[in-house]
Amino acid sequence: MATLNPYKAYQQTSVDTSTPGELTLMLYNGALKFLSLAKRGMEAGDIEMKNTNLQKTQNIIREFMVTLDPKQPVAEGMMQMYDYMNRRLIEANVTNDAAIVAEVTGLMTEFRDTWKQVVQIQRQKQYGGAGGV
């Protein structure tokens, strides 16, 4: 019988019980984590670490792009920003430019912080002011 990893079990439960808004917040946080690791890879000269983590971030960005609801007024602007960030990360990967990674990190942080506020507002409406993110 395999021994269960309690951390992995907790992570899976967290994903399984999260709202779509909370899952989106997790993706933003994951993208920021991967950007940080990519920058660390650049600084250490670890090309594989840089490449892997930039690609993980790009995968998250592409997921955001395909799940945008085009009927929403902000969708077109968000699509353009996601496309811009994706193209910048390709450039950062090719040129090994940490400044580009920092730029995208700033943009991604703004998206994440805005989304975090949306999730908090939803929780306040649902639970009457209880629960912080």
Domains annotated on the chain, with CATH: 22-117 (1.20.120.340)
Side-chain half-sphere of 78: how many Cα atoms within 13 Å?
21
Measuring CA to CA, which residue among 16, 13, 57 is closest to residue 34? 57
40, containing H or E segment: helix 20-44
Q: What is the pLDDT of residues 18-52, one digit of tens each?
A: 788 999 999 999 999 999 999 999 999 999 999 99
pTM of this prediction? 0.82
Q: What are phi and psi of 110, to 5 degrees?
A: -65, -45
Q: What is the pLDDT of residues 98-130, one digit of tens each?
A: 999 999 999 999 999 999 999 999 888 888 755
Q: Strand ranges (DSSP E) for the chain?
A: none
